[in-house]
Amino acid sequence: MAAESANQGVAVMAAIARNAVPLAGLRQGAEGVICESRLDAEDAALLKAMGLCTSATIKVVRAGQPCVVAVGGAGEACSCGGMCRIGLARELAERIFVNVLA
Amino acid sequence: MEDSRTESPPVIKLQVNQPECAWCDPAERCAPEERCGTDVRRIALLGNPNTGKTTLFNRLSGLRHKTSNFPGTTLEARVTRVKAGIEGGRDGDLIDLPGIYSLELDQLESRVCREVLAGTAAPRGEPLGEPECAVVVVDAANLARNLMLVGEVFRRRLPTIVVVNMIDIAARHGVVIEAQRLEAALGCGVVLTNARDGSGIDKARIGIRNARIPTPAKPVPSDQDQLRAWADDIQTQCVRANRGPGTGAMSETTSDRVDRVLLHPVGGMLVFSLVMAGLFYTIFAVARYPMEWLGAIFEWGKGLVHAHMGSGAVANLLADGIVGGVGSVLIFLPQICLLFFIISLLEDTGYLARGAFLMDRLLRPFGLPGHSFVPLLSSHACALPGIMATRGIPDRKERLATILVAPFVTCSARLPVYVLLTTLLFKDRPLMAALAFVGCYMLGILAAVVSALIARRTILRGKSRAMALELPTYKRPAMRTAFVGTFDRAKMFVRNAGTNILVICVVLWWLGAYPRVEAPTIAGRLREAAVHVVASDAKATTEVVAISDSERRGLLLPEEIVVGRDKAALDYTFFDGAMKPKAWLTGDDATKLADQIESRHQKTHSFLGMLGRGVEPVFRPLGFDWQLTIGVLASFAAREVFVSTMNVVISGQAETPDDEAGKQHLIEQIQTAKRSDGVTPIFTPAASWSLLVFFVLAMQCLPTLAVTAKESGHVKWALLQLAWMSGVAYLAAMLVYQVMS
C-alpha cells in the first residue's frame, strides 16, 4: 500500500516536472510554484532557509540578471508574507524549476 | 497597529524550589537554568539578515560596546553590557551574533551561532558558557520564515524572547501582528519594536529580564519541513493582513518599481557609477580638508615637543618617532570615518545589496563577488579602510582573496611618488605624464584582479558561489546606526594605530635616525661662518668657507662658499647643476645648508643607510643604487615617505618646498643627482620606469600588513601578501629595467 502511494507520488512529481520551466525563463509578473531544484546541497539548503523551497509560490518581480522573485506560500500565510524579495544570479535561476500559475 | 504588549509575559510555573535571589524579581521564582546571584547574564542576540538586529543592538548598547571576533574566524562579534530592565533585575552581556537564515546550515555563521548557543564558543575575551537568554529578532513583514529560526532556537531549550521588529514597515503593507496570540502560540515573551525610532526598546529590556524557557502551544517539530508548516501555522493564527484592493501578497511594491531602474544593466550601472563616483569623491576630495587639519595638528605637536624638550634623543623619539609616525597613519582617519559612514547609509537604505548584484557580473570572472567592489574602490584612497570594508563579503575565501589583492590598487600614498617619477620621466610633456599616471592606475587594477584569479584557482580554491541575496525594502537610513558603526570602525583603527602601527613607526624611525654619527666638519664651518656674519655690524662682512675635494664627494657643492650678510648681493647658485667655483649664501641659507648636509650625512650613515648599502645588490637588477634602495626601504613605513627620503638623501631637505621655484629646483637636483661613481645619474629613464612599476605593485606599507593580519585572522596571510606583491613587483620592475636598458 505504502509502495503504491510512493509510486503515485513519483508519477505526480514527474508529471509536474514535465511541465516545469526554469525560473530564469519566466517573464516579469509570472507566478508559479517551485517544483524542483537542481542545485548543489549547499545552495539548495541556503535557498530553502531563505524561503525558496519546493512548493513555495513565487512571483517574478524582475526578470533577467539578477532575477528578483517575491516569495510566498499557501494563501495569506506565506513564508515571507509576500513582501520578501530574493535576487538570484542567473546560474541559480536556471536550475530552479517552476510550474507556472499565471 | 497594535502596540507591543503591556502585560508581563506568562510565568512558567516551576516545580523546583529555589531561593529567591537579590537580582531577580522577588514576585517570581527564578528558572533553574538561570544562574541566580551571578553578576551578569549572557544574552545571545540573533536573527535573519535584514531584520534590524544591528539597529536594535545599537539601541540597547549606545556607544558602549566592545568589538572583537569569534576565535579562529573573521566574523565580527560585538558585546555590550545591557543594564537591567527599568524596574530592576540583573545586567546582561548582550552578544550580537551574525545574521543567519537557519542554525542548521553548513555555513560559518550558522556554526558560530550554534556553538555560542551551545556554550562552546564565545567572542574573543568573553568567557565560554551557555547563554542564559536568547533574543531572536524577527521581521514583522516576513514572519513565517523568521519563525523557523525561532523554532530552531526553541529546540535548544534556552530562555528565549522574540522581538518582532520593523512593525512600521509591516503596518505600511497592511500586516498586523497579534502580539498576544503570538505570545500564546510561542509560549515565550513577545515584544513589538521599531528599533529605528526606539519604540518598544524598554519593553524589550524588560522582556530580556523575564525570559523563560518557551513552552509553545504546538511542540517544535524536529524535521525541517515540518518546522516550515509549524511556522506557517503560527503565522496564520497571529497575522492579520489588512491589504487594500490590488495589494495582495506578492503584489508590486514601490521597491520593485525602483529596482527595475536600479538593477537595469544600463540604467542601474549608470546610477551605481554616479553613487560610487560620489563615494570616491567624498573620501578623496572632501576628506582632504580634515586630513590637512590633522596633519597641521601633528606638525604643531612635533613643534611643541621640540620647543619644550629640545632635540635630544627622547624629544626626537617623541616628536618624530611617535607623533610623526602615528600621525602619518592617523591622518587617514577622516577617510575611514567618511567611507564607513557612507557605506553604512547605503547599506541601510538597501542599495548596497543591489550594487553587489551589479558588480557581480564584472568581478565574478576573476573569482571575486560583487561585494568586493566597494572595498576595492575604497582601497584607491587607502588600503586600510578598504581591507576593513571587506567585512561585508560573506564568503570567507572570497573575502581573503579581496584582502590579499586590495593593496595592489593605487592608494593616495602612492600619488606623490607617481608625481615625482612621472615628472622626472616627462618633464615638459604633461600629456605623457598624465597617460603614465593613468597607466599606473590601470596596472594596479590589473594586478589586483589577475592576482585574485590566481589566488582563487590555487590557495583559495573553492566554488564561486552564484549570488542569492535578499533584497530588503528600500528605506530611509538610520543615522544613529551609521554613526555608531562609524565610531566603532574609527575606534578600531585608532586602537590599531596606537599599538601595532605605533611599534612599526617607532622601529622604522629608529632605523633611520640611529646610530648618531658625528656631523661633517663642513657643516660646522658653515654654521660658524653664518653666526659670524649675522653677529657682525658691517653690511659687507663676508666669510669664505673652503670645501675640500673629499668633503665634496657625493655632494653637489662648489669649491668655495662665501657667506655674507647682504642678500641682494648674493647669488644663490647651489645645486643648479652647473656649479660655479664660488657660491654666495646669506647667513640663514648657510645654516639651512649645514642642516641639509647633517641630515643627509645622518641618513646615509643610519642603520637604514647601512641596510640600503647592504641590500643594494638585491635591487641592482632593478636599476636601483644604494640611495634609491634607502628610499625603497624607508617607504615600508608608508609609501609617501619615499619622496621625503629621496629629498633628504639627495639634497638633505626633508620637506618639498611650497613655492614653484623651490620645487623645480629640487626636481632638478634629484634629476641630476649622481650615483657613487659621480657620473651615472640615479634616475636614468630605465631606473625611473622600473621604480614606477615597482611602486605600483610592491607591498610597501607595514600598517596595511598589520591590518591584513588582523582582518584575515592570521599573520600568514599578511606574510603571503608581502611575499606575493613584493615578488610580482620585483620581477616586473626587473623586466622593465632589463628591457629598457
Percentage, residues of chain A above pLDDT 90: 28
Query: Cell 564607513 sits at which residue?
Result: B340
pLDDT value at B15 more than 50: no
Q: Could you say which residues from 69 to 98 on chain A have a Cβ atom under 8 Å away from some Cβ of chain B?
A: 70-92
Supply the pLDDT for residue B20.
39
Q: Is the pLDDT of residue B18 over 50?
A: no
Residues of chain A with Cβ-Cβ distance to B143 below 8 Å are: 81
With CB atoms and an 8 Å threshold, state whether A81 touches B142.
yes
pLDDT in tens, A20-34: 899 999 999 898 999
- Under the banding of pLDDT at 50, 70 and 90, the label for residue A14 is low
What confidence tier does B576 reach under pLDDT thresholds 50, 70, 90?
Answer: very low
User: Taking CB atoms and an 8 Å limit, are A81 and B235 in contact across chains?
Assistant: yes
pLDDT band at B137 (very low <50, low <70, confident <90, very high): very high
Q: B155-169, B262-276, B322-336, B391-405: which has the minimum mean pLDDT? A: B322-336
Instruction: Give the model confidence (pLDDT) of B375-427 as tens digits.
Output: 898 888 788 888 988 887 878 899 999 999 999 998 878 887 888 888 888 87
On whether the pTM is more than 0.90, the answer is: no
- pLDDT of B33 above 80: no
**Three-state SS for B164?**
strand
The answer to whether the beta carbons of residues B8 and B211 sit under 8 Å apart is no
Closest CA relative to residue B415, chosen from B398, B434, B429, B400: B434
Alpha helices in B515-606, H assignment, sequence order: 521-535, 549-552, 587-604
- Quickly state the pLDDT bin for A15 (edges 50, 70, 90): very low
Asked whether the predicted pLDDT for residue B724 surpasses 90, the reply is yes
Q: Cis link prior to A66 (omega < 30° from 0)?
A: yes
Average model confidence (pLDDT) across chain B: 81
- B65: number of Cβ within 10 Å: 21
A77/B228 CB distance under 8 A:
no
pLDDT at B621: 94
ipTM attached to this prediction: 0.82
Identify which has the larger pLDDT, B333 or B690. Answer: B690
pLDDT digits (tens, 9 = 90+) for B246-268: 445 567 788 888 998 999 989 99
Distance CA B239, CA B95 (A): 29
What pLDDT score does B625 carry? 86
Residue B489 bridge partners (DSSP): none
B145: nearest CB among A58, A74, A79: A79
| Residue B39: per-residue pLDDT | 56
Residues of B with Cβ-Cβ distance to A42 under 8 angstroms: 106-107, 465
CB contact under 8 A, B361 and A61: no
Task: Nearest chain A residue to B145 by CA: give it.
Answer: A79
CA dist., res. B20 & res. B18, Å (int): 6
Which of B167, B250, B463 to mutate to probe the A interface, most A CBs <10 Å?
B250
Q: B651-683: per-residue pLDDT in tens?
A: 655 555 566 666 676 777 777 777 766 678 888
C-beta atoms of A80 and B142 within 8 A: yes
